[in-house]
Chain A
């Protein structure tokens, strides 16, 4: 079975440019999570969706960040305009819903390493 798929795996861009990160969750999973990992702050939850609906975006750093989930098999995280401090590894994860729902295991994608020059 395919795991969580993220693209691109690496992205290098210049300050001010728009960056779009993509994620395909595991088929059948109802929850999708976006995380950011840096040395300074560790692993931070940015936003998560349940059945394509954003539930909590309190972790999104600022208005430059936006996320969408137009359907059950695709989500994007967009940064516009990008800044050097956005450089990090961005992970997407998905989990099952259902009766055990909320605390079900999250499976992570390989991550996108973003460098903003």
Chain B
């Protein structure tokens, strides 16, 4: 069965520090997709990234970077030089491409506080 674990429930860092949000997943499929979403205090869910299981290259987008490691079934998210606007709940999610049910399974989320 597919499962996503975000062990860090809540993290607080001071502005300008780097922070890494952990995501560990479980799947039996060889083809799958991983996602990160951001939910700021305003409540909407914002798509950040989608990664397929055949692409293990790390991704960088501005201050955001993602480290995908199949060997450890992890898809961690790092924010460099954090800013107060990064304060949000971040969700990691998994979808099995050959699964029967087309669903995305979300982790419980990590609440990130960036302190000024």
Task: Give the interface of A toward B (CB within 8 A).
Answer: 31, 42-43, 45, 48, 50, 55-56, 89, 91, 93, 100-103, 105-111, 113
Cβ < 8 Å to A, chain B residues 39-96: 43-47, 50, 52, 91, 95-96
Check B103 for interface membership: any CB of A closer than 8 A.
Answer: yes
| Contacting residues, chain B, for A101 (C-beta < 8 A) | 102
How many residues in B have their beta carbons less than 8 Å from beta carbons of A? 23
Assess the B108–A89 pair: CB atoms within 8 A: no
**Closest A residue, CB atoms, query B91:** A43
In the complex, the answer to whether A45 meets B47 with C-beta atoms within 8 Å is no
Contact A107 B47 (CB under 8 A): yes
Q: Which residues of chain B have C-beta atoms less than 8 A from A102's C-beta? A: 95, 97, 99, 102
Interface residues of B (CB under 8 A from A): 32-33, 35, 37, 43-47, 50, 52, 91, 95-97, 99, 101-104, 106, 108-109
Per DSSP, are chain A's interface residues mostly helix, strand or loop, or mixed?
Answer: strand
Point out which of B33, B43, B45 has the most chain A C-beta atoms below 10 A from its C-beta. Answer: B45
Tell whether, in the assembled complex, residue A42 and residue B47 are in contact, meaning their CB atoms are under 8 Å apart.
Answer: no
Evaluate contact between B106 and A105: CB separation under 8 angstroms: no
Q: Which residues of A contact B46 (CB under 8 A)?
A: 108
| Complex-state Cα separation, A91 to B39, whole angstroms | 12
The docked-state distance in angstroms from the alpha carbon of A48 to that of B103 is 9
